[in-house]
Amino acid sequence: MSNTEVIDTTVVELVEKNTVEVVREVLDDVKEDIKVAAEEVKETVEDVKDTVDEVKDKVEEITHTIDDVFDDKLTEEQHTILVLFYDDAKAAVEIIASSSLPAVVKLTKMIGALMKLFEKVQHHGKAISGSNKKAVVMAIMKRLLKDLIPDHDVLAELLTVYHDNAEYLLETLADVSRSLNVVTEIAEMAESGCCASILSLLTKK
C-alpha cells in the first residue's frame, strides 16, 4: 500500500471516528434534552393536578356555602338546637356512618338514631316540637354526612339517597314511632283498668 493510500485510509478512519463521536455527543445532548423536557412535562402535570385539586376543594367549599344558605331556612330556635346538639348527634351516628351498610340502610339507621336522640333532648326545659324535630334532623343529617363520610363516591351516593328519600324515611319512621307510643300507652292504661282513657286515645287524631 502506498503512502497516499495509507494517508487516505487514516483520514477516512479519523473522519469516521470523529463522526461517531459527534453522533454520540448529539445523541447524548438529545437524551439530556428529552430528560429535561420530560421533567418539565412532569412538573406541568403536577401543577395541573394541583390546580384540579384546588378547583375541587373550591367547589366543595362553595357547596358547603350553598348548603349553609339553605340551612338559613331554619328558624333561629331550630338553628340553636342544631348547634347545641350537633356533637351529641355526631356521636349517635358515627359508628353507623363508618359501617359498610348499603346507602339506604345506612341513611335509615342514621335517621332513626337521630330521631331517638331528639325524642329525649329538651330545649329550654321542654321537649322539642315535631316540626322543629323534623327540620333539625333533616339539616343536621346532611351536615353529618359531609363531616363523617371521607370517600367522595360514597358521599355522593348517600347525598343522592338523602335528597330522594330522607324526608319520606323520616316521616315513615315518625309514623312508626307514634304507633309504638300509642301501643305503649294503651298497654299501660289497660294495666290500670282505665277504659275511658283507652277509648279517648284510640279515637284521637
Please say whether the beta carbons of 138 and 112 come within 8 A: no
What residues contact residue 142 under an 8 Å CB cut-off, 6+ apart? 67, 159, 162
Return the closest-CA partner of residue 100 out of 91, 92, 109.
109
- pLDDT for position 184: 47
- pLDDT for position 141: 92
- pLDDT for position 148: 94
Instruction: Calculate what percentage of the chain has a pLDDT beyond 90.
Output: 27
Kindly state the cell numbers that stand for 105: 340502610
- pLDDT for position 143: 92
Q: List the single range of 57-71, 81-95, 139-153, 158-172 with lowest mean pLDDT.
A: 57-71
Domain ranges of the chain: 1-72, 74-203
Q: Rounded to whole angstroms, what are the CA distances from 93 to 114, 129, 175?
A: 7, 22, 21
Return the closest-CA partner of residue 177 out of 121, 123, 119, 138.
119
Q: Rounded to whole angstroms, what are the CA distances from 166 to 20, 117, 141?
A: 76, 17, 9
Kindly state the cell numbers that stand for 2: 502506498
Q: What is the pTM of this model?
A: 0.55
Distance CA 145, CA 158 (A): 8
Paired with 122 in beta bridges are 127
What residues contact residue 200 under an 8 Å CB cut-off, 6+ apart? none
Q: Which amino acid belongs to residue 124?
A: H
- The overall longest dimension of the chain from CA atoms, in Å, is 139
Determine the length of the chain: 205
Please say whether the beta carbons of 79 and 71 come within 8 A: yes
What band does 69 get if pLDDT is binned at 50, 70 and 90? very low
Instruction: Calculate what percentage of the chain has a pLDDT beyond 70.
Output: 62
